[in-house]
Structure 1
Amino acid sequence: MPSIHRRPADQAIVVRLALIAASCVLASYPATSNAQVPDAAPAPGEAIAGRSVAAADEDSLPGKAAGPFAYLERSGFDLDQRNALIIGASSAAFLAYGHAKWWDQGFGGGFKTRGEGWFGRGTDYGGTDKLGHMFTNYASVRLLSRAFRAAGNGADESVRLAAWTTIGIFTGIEVLDGFSRKWRFSGEDALMNIAGAGLGVLMEDQPELDAKFDFRFGYRRSTGSRFDPFGDYAGQRYLLMAKADGFESLRRHPVLRYLEVGIGYQARFTPGGERRRDAYVGVSLNLSRLLADGFYGGRHGTTPFQRGADLAFELVQFPAAGYVRHRID
């Protein structure tokens, strides 16, 4: 009898963290628009997290390819071909991984579904898996937006292509699950995929909002487990962080500008029988602002290392925070 739909945690998180790593690499390439980093650093308290609205307007214009796409451009690949390469390579990577890890038992038996629930105590992972789907699609849109931008597209077109590519890939994965012998289609997963892609589009389209808020993945080894961000679901935490640096009145404060506050969720469902859901409120250091002020004169996006680090700080919650925990059950 085929098993019910739920991929092993380690496979899902491997894909998720691979997206983060790839995002950081792509973020190291400079923008291909006419927008430039200012020659002089802004006055203390005036540096703005992320790109300005004016820069975002200029970014809407297509430009020359950057990074490895510049080589393709010189080799005669036009923009449509470079876009097709990104879409094809992304789809092929997930299909190859799915064939090896998820659909190794093949397909058959018609289209099958399973209602998994959301964040209830009686679900498989207390909703951590649902937030994982959301975060994966969110990170995918952020990653692919940079890939399409580096290929030479304007910012608006890059986000549109990233969103449809992401939704297409992850919806396709869910549909194939429904036809597979081993898994089931999950409507909850499909909806969370769309929600994550939508959040990614919102953040890419609204730089001022992106400067204020981050959606992050965090990990701390759970009791009785070895250090395993890939497979230790009980140690995973998802957070929504608000950055003081994104608010003009707080950005001018010499201390508060380095702080972030946020809320988080974690479900500790362990093989040993623990089934506990927790909500968090916490305060963290803004590592991106510390990096900019400490080494780059208050500016963002000045070097490949800084661009990659900023994106890592935006997607991953590093151990620079303190939390107050509220036990839901």
Structure 2
Amino acid sequence: MKKLLTILSFQLLVYCAPAQKLTTFDIPDTTVKPRVWLLGGATAALYGGGLLALNSAWYKGYPKSGFHFFNDAGEWKQMDKMGHVFSAYMIGKYSRELWRWSGLPRKQQIWIGGVSGFAYLSVIEILDGFSEQWGFSWSDMSANVAGSALFISQELAWNEQRIQLKFSSYPQYYSDPVLADKANQQFGKSFPERTLKDYNAQTYWISVNLHSFAQNSGLPKWLNMAVGYGANGMIRATDNTWTDDAGTKYDYSHMPRIRQFYLSPDIDFTKIPTRKKGFRVLFQVLNMLKFPAPTLELTSEGRLRLHAIHF
């Protein structure tokens, strides 16, 4: 999924750019203009380079068209929309962490960082609008707004992220040879491809830090509860029928396309105290992933089951 790839590359800038340019990691109390220029230039370079790479890797093999709109709100059980919310949120979060280093006033850091995710994903949406394969999607844009708004509102209200978005993925493989071949074409064959492109494999989580809302409860500061959303049984965007290049038709409409809802404890790694900067960086990265834990699952078919460990 191209948005998730953007997040991973953005993390490198957040945690590596300052170390490469300056000898100090101190967070200043006042604005340091050379750092503002440095971060502005580095961010622009990352965005520009990322878009060029994305255009080459993602759009190059597809024909261009005039700018057009496409309504994909009903596709993939809205799992792709969850990906947009998550991506806008995470890019905003890491961008704000980066701009702390500039010493800019707190609200400026929040707005610059928070809007970054929305701005970057909006450019991708415009590129989609000029691709014959896709189109500009208002539902994607709404999801981008939601992700940025979730980050910005919490920073302004609490100066912390009490409600975090997280991601998990468990790639699936099919014993049916027809489904296996279609999945290889649709989602890729490698583990990274299946992780990022197969919506059946993904779960998106809203992870709430309990201590932040009940500070006198005696609960551990690192303890979260997470509500997850996933889907399964999806071979194509809207149905499970298709025709291959040879004209052979396949009908797997008997395979149910279901929604999955989860409830599970989680860990906020950033609440684990440490004086080691390396561990703080590691904890920030780990915090984008849901911690494997016992999980209660309820499906749209009414099936309820308990997983001893679910990721």
Q: What is the TM-score with the length of structure 2 in the denominator?
A: 0.72
Q: Is the 8 A contact 1:282 1:322 kept in 2?
A: yes
Q: Which residue of 2 aligns with 1:277?
A: 259
SS in 1 for 2:196: coil
Q: Deviations over 1:113-172 (max 9, x none)?
A: 110115xxxx2x211110101111111111111222223423221222223333222212
Runs of 4+ displaced beyond 6 Å: 26-29
1:85 to 25, 41, 50: 41
Matches within 5 A, 1:156-195: 156-195=107-146
- 2:232 aligned with 1:268, yes or no? yes
Tell me which of 23, 28, 33 is aligned to 1:33: 28
CA distance in structure 2 between the partners assigned to 1:258 and 1:87 by the alignment: 31
Distance 1:79 1:311, change over 3 A: closer
Distance 1:148 1:208, change over 3 A: closer
Answer whether contact 2:269 2:284 (CA < 8 A) is retained. no
Matched, 1:324 2:296: yes
Checking the alignment, whether the CA contact within 8 Å between 2:223 and 2:268 is kept in structure 1 is yes
Q: Which is richer in strand?
A: 2
Please tell me the residue identity of whatever aligns with 1:157. Q
Compute the displacement of 1:287 (Å).
4.3
> Matched residue pairs, number?
262
**Distance in 1 between the 2:270 and 2:160 partners?**
16
Q: Distance in 1 between matches of 2:222 and 2:124?
A: 40
1:218 paired to 2:190: no
2:69 aligned residue? 113
1:259 is matched with 223
Where structure 2 has 5 or more consecutive residues not aligned to the other structure, the ranges are: 175-188, 236-251, 302-311
Q: Distance in 1 between matches of 2:233 and 2:53?
A: 27
Identity level (%): 18
The yes-or-no answer on 1:130 pairing with 2:81 is: yes
Deviations 1:280-320 (A, max 9, x none): 1122345444x42xxx4xxxxx331232133234321122x
Per-residue deviation at 1:112?
1.1
1:232 to 179, 189, 198: 198
Structure 1 residue 30, shift from structure 2 partner: 4.8
Residue 79 of structure 1, CA deviation: 4.9
CA deviation string 1:230-275 (max 9, x = no partner): 233212111112222322122x24xx55532221100114437552
Distance 1:263 1:270 in 2: 22
In structure 1, list runs of 5 or more residues that go unmatched: 1-8, 35-61, 65-72, 297-301
Cα–Cα, structure 1 residues 107 and 169, in superposed 2: closer, same or farther, change >3 Å?
A: farther
The residue type equivalent to 1:238 in the other structure is: Y
What's the RMSD between the two structures over aligned residues? 3.0
Question: What is the TM-score normalised by the length of structure 1?
Answer: 0.69
Call closer, same or farther: CA 1:21–1:95 in 2, change over 3 Å: closer
Instruction: Give the drift of 1:217.
Output: 1.0
Structure of higher RCO (CA pairs closer than 8 Å, 6+ residues apart): 1
